[in-house]
Amino acid sequence: MTSAEIRQSFLDFFKSKQHAIVPSSSLMPTAPNLLFTNAGMNQFVPYFLGDQTAPWKRVADTQKCIRAGGKHNDLEDVGFDTYHHTMFEMLGNWSFGDYFKRESLTWGWELLTKVWGIPPKRLFATVYSPDKAKGDPSDFDQEAYDIWAKIFKDAGLDPAVHIVNGNKKDNFWMMGDTGPCGPCSEIHFNLLESDDEAAGRANVNSSSPRCIEIWNHVFIQFNANADGTFAPLAAKHVDTGMGFERVAGIHATTNGFRDFAAEPSNYNADVFKPTFDKLTELSGKIYTKSVPTKRDSLTAQEQIDIAFRVLADHARCVSCAIADGILPGNEGRNYVIRRILRRAIMYGQKNLGLKTGDFASLVAPVIESLGNVFPELKTQRVMVEKAIRAEEESFGSTLGRGLDLFWQGATLLERAEVDTGPSIQVGRTYVEIGEAIMRDGKLVRIISGEFAFLLSDTYGFPLDMTQVLAVERGIEVDAKGFERFMEEQRNRGRAARKTDVIVASTEGEAVAAATKFVGYQIDATHATHSKLVDVVKTEKDAYLVFDQTPFYAEMGGQVGDTGHALINGAKVDILDTIKDKSGRHLH
Ligand code: GLY
């Protein structure tokens, strides 16, 4: 099967079990406590809580999920292993007060072993066993245990070997700190070369790439309240999530679940192939599948292979996020997308020698592999490419200088004697790079919050990017110190805004008609005919106001659009777009 056939086979299986097949929801979550849509169940929360009645009893779909920032955050692992992603597809099936544990687990087993032919000996199931001493909620999931015991016995396997207990950390699933939740039962796939069952069992939940959780069956029974209590829900529901890229990668690596000699990798799945091919064309470098065993002292080829995985993953994530209207920006989810984008640009330039514009050219292969499943990628293509290209241009111009400064600083720090802290001259001031200290008998080098802040403020390096660079050289970063500098800057900004912005815009005059925003409806030229309705002059600037505009105005951390207007044949550059209280776009 190709990846597309695996996805379709999942959906067809649940269609045959009377499930309605529904589209993925947007990555922009509807739940207020989420940064991004992080699970297939997010769009169904009102049905679980009983706030709305579901139009169907059973549904299945493939859902775009981002797990970067927030409760579920895999960003730091992406690229360094072969099975974490920032964005992934979650195949899922749901019951809204209809079937429960028996059907869910039995159908799960049927699809995996009968339809897909996964050897039963290689599958292990976990069930919820609360650690009462730690205050875990609810009781041992005897019902799930008994269902699994029968399934394994019927397959001629020993339940005592194939069922593994897990406490709240592994077997009680929560979408966020609040919301619908419940005990869960995960299916793990032993990918060791031998199918020895004792070795397979020992590998469950060991973070080994040779034993991977592929499918989580959650039994939604509670709502987690903000005060930490769990309220039982009126009805019981099923919420399952299968890692599509994991299954597709294992299928590709094992010749259809038959040959377990090779190291498994999600990136062996054909969904990543068009992007890998494009990266080879752009960089002249070859992906060799190497996976580092540590984060520092990486070989040149390990650095290339990490970058291939990072870029292939991040290109999908930012393309899908931007297509769903989450543009790179300075706050909240928009800043997470900016961080991911900058992480990709940094790896592309540093490890693969890519140039400005190369990352935007990965949108085409992403659309080639995902455009038929998530059609918004095709309709929003121009906007996605434009937003990525703009970020490459602005960050690309400072990245090289920032990297030079980082390397100079790190080199001085590596040469520093114990209990000394070198400084570096930046303009007319000196910035403390960090210090070398002895900790538990070991020499430790730490980059100061001030230096990390300089890299962030002047060169646009998100903290986690500085951390990635530092770890490669075995150096730590004072993240708390960095936060202190950030907070000071925020305070300065707040104080300054009180005087500045009110002068520079027409804030407060909530009387004029709001500008009609047509940025999502226009053609590929991104141009529209508009009527100039006002010119707002401030001490420093002049702002043009039109009746309608395709220019996105700075808002919620997203940057305002730039471009130009042709007014009676004269070209006027638009350097920024902001919005006033009346909702007028000021160009
Ligand atoms: N909602 C099930 C999961 O994300 O694992």
55-74 tens-digit pLDDT: 999 999 999 999 997 667 78
pLDDT tens digits, one per residue of 363-386: 999 999 999 999 999 999 999 999
Check pLDDT > 70 for residue 86: yes
73 three-class SS:
coil
CA of 167 to the centre of ligand 1 (A): 16
Nearest residue to 187 (alpha-carbon basis) of 174, 173, 204: 204
Per-residue pLDDT reduced to its tens digit, 206-261? 989 999 999 999 999 999 998 999 999 999 999 999 999 999 999 999 999 999 99
State the pLDDT at residue 522: 56
Q: Does position 505 have pLDDT exceeding 50, yes or no?
A: no
Q: What average pLDDT does the chain have? A: 92
| Distance from C-alpha of 271 to C-alpha of 87, rounded to nearest angstrom | 13
> First-to-last CA distance in the chain?
52
CB 174, CB 158: distance < 8 Å: no
CA of 194 to the centre of ligand 1 (A): 29
How far, in Å, from the CA of 186 to the mean position of ligand 1? Answer: 10
Q: What is the pLDDT of residue 562?
A: 79
Read off the pLDDT of each residue in 412-430 and give the average, rounded to a whole number. Answer: 93
For ligand 1, say whether the CB of 39 is within 6 Å of any of its atoms: yes
User: Which of 480, 505, 525, 464 lies closest to 336, judged by CA?
Assistant: 464
| Res. 583 pLDDT band, cuts 50 70 90 | confident
Question: Of the residues 63, 90, 128, which should be mutated to test ligand 1's pocket, given the most ligand atoms within 8 Å of the CB?
Answer: 90
For ligand 1, whether the C-beta of 239 sits within 6 Å is: yes
> Each residue of 534-561: b (16+ CB within 10 Å) or e?
eebeeeeeebbbbebbbbbbbeebbbbb
Ligand 1 midpoint to CA 94 (Å): 11
**pLDDT tier, 540 (very low <50, low <70, confident <90, very high otherwise):** low
Q: In the chain, what are the helix, strand and coil shares in percent, each to the nearest 5?
A: 40, 20, 35
Query: Which pLDDT score, from 0 to 100, does residue 509 have?
Result: 42
Is there a contact between 452 and 413 (Cβ–Cβ < 8 Å)? Answer: no
Instruction: For residue 186, give the ligand 1 atom closest to its CA.
Output: 5
CB neighbour class for 32 (10 Å; exposed up to 12, middle 13-18, buried from 19): exposed
Please enumerate, as own/partner, the contacts of 251-256 that have beta carbons within 8 Å and a separation of 24 or more.
251/1, 251/6, 251/116, 252/3, 254/191, 256/1, 256/117
Distance CA 252, CA 585 (A): 50
- pLDDT above 70 as % of the chain: 94
| CATH superfamily, region 3-264 | Bira Bifunctional Protein; Domain 2 (3.30.930.10)
Say if CB 269 and CB 248 are below 8 A apart.
Answer: yes
Degrees (nearest 5) of the Cα angle 81, 3, 26? 80
- Whether the pLDDT of residue 503 is over 90: the answer is no
pLDDT at 495: 75
Q: In the structure encoding, which two tokens stand for residue 422, read together?
A: 């070198």
Say yes or no: domain 512-586 is CATH 2.40.30.130. Answer: yes
Is there an atom of ligand 1 within 6 Å of 559 CB?
no
CB of 41 shorter than 6 A to ligand 1: yes
| Domain range list for the chain | 3-264, 268-406, 409-485, 512-586
Tell the residue nearest (CA) to atom 3 of ligand 1. 241
Instruction: Please count the CA atoms within 13 angstroms of the CA of 554 that sit on its side-chain side.
Output: 14
Q: Model's pTM, two decimal places?
A: 0.81
Residue type, 569: G
Ligand 1 close to Cβ of residue 462 (< 6 A) = no
Whether 538 shows a pLDDT value over 80: the answer reads no
> Which phi-psi region, left, alpha or beta, contains residue 228 (left: φ > 0; alpha: ψ -120 to 50)?
left
Instruction: Give the strand pairing for 179-190 and 516-517.
Output: unpaired
